[in-house]
Amino acid sequence: MFNRINLSVLRKLVQLGAFVFLVYGSVIVGFYTADKISVAFPSLTCAYDMQSADYCTLIPFQHQMDHRVGAVLSAGGTVVQALLPTLITLGTFLLLFVILNKAFCGWICPLGFFQEVLSLIGQKLGLRRIESLPQKVVDRIRPLKWLILLLLVFALPLLTGLGIAGHEAGDPFCKICPSRILTTLANGDTDQLYLDTSSGGYLFLSVVANFIFGLILVWGLFVRQPFCRICPMLALHAVFRKVGLVRLVKNAKPRCEKCGLCAKACPMDIREIHTEMEKKDVLFPDCTLCGRCVEFCPDKDVLQLKYTALPLLRADPAYFKKRKKAQTTWEKSNLRNLLKRD
């Protein structure tokens, strides 16, 4: 019975519901309503998906840098005139983001859910998975999400609006975003899986897009959350994580220094959860608030998920034992072990 009620199962059900709504949601709310809900959603929901219930906030940011900020500044307009639409979009994003904080990544994002499904498939096939990346690799990967956010979401579109970069750089992140290919394919639309030969720039971006999506399909079977680690939305979340209402709190005990089970459970390889012994706030920039670290902490109340001051989930020895047993049973139940028994 426990296998059906732990936090990870609950999260998968929420992710599935969010995926269905965000990818096919306009069927429920209507196309015109979906186009107007916020256009500033804090997860990778794609405008190229004609049935999407809402659009990710990275889309208007790129378009505003290109068509508004760059264009207005080129025409001699003021900074306030140029930035006003972007500030409105940011304000809408923050209204939504404050509610769930970085949990939009771990509980709502369609691409995040897709990567977790790939991980489950790899697990069930009995593939030799990389449970944790080496620390040096993690350290090298982490800055990439900031570089992608600054360069592809803001800098290149702005340069296009100023007339410095070519038109293909007007929305470069959207052109390589794997969510664009994923959500359109989920609707039976193969138009986004192509090579654009209209110019060298477009060809390069379309090659990169297909390469990244193919890499996710392969690496997702072996490595947990491969794209999440470099996602610019995660970087944008990290900037504002202090204002969100959902918190991850640690009350460290001496045994924490020897344990490390929380870091092993983390799909983003945030080893600082284990090593931090002073700060109570352990909502680190790469955290997606999936809650696995809390589930796999064996010491009572050391780690807690909170909504403002209200505890949502606390580390508990009894829960840990049941969760560990359920995880072991789940991992042993795979195709490789089944074939060995036969």
Can you count the helices (H) and strands (E) in the chain? Answer: 20, 3
Could you give the count of Cα atoms lying within 13 Å of 296 in the half-sphere of its Cβ? 21
pLDDT digits (tens, 9 = 90+) for 171-207: 999 999 999 999 999 988 888 888 988 899 999 999 9
Number of CB atoms found within 10 A of residue 163's CB: 10
Q: Which residues of 190-228 are buried (b: 16+ CB within 10 A; e: fewer)?
A: eebeeeeeeeebbeebbeebbebbeebeebbbebbbbbb
* Lookup result for tokens 């949990």: 103
Categorize the per-residue pLDDT at 52 as very low, low, confident or very high, splitting at 50, 70 and 90. Answer: confident
Distance in angstroms (rounded) separating the CA atoms of residues 207 and 193: 10
**Dihedral of alpha carbons 290, 291, 295, 298, sign:** positive
- Give the pLDDT confidence of 100-112 residue by residue, as tens digits: 999 999 999 999 9
Identify the band that residue 250 occupies on the pLDDT scale cut at 50, 70 and 90: very high
- Domain ranges within the chain, ordered by starting residue: 2-236, 245-332
Instruction: Find the range with the poorest average confidence among 9-13, 48-52, 97-101.
Output: 48-52
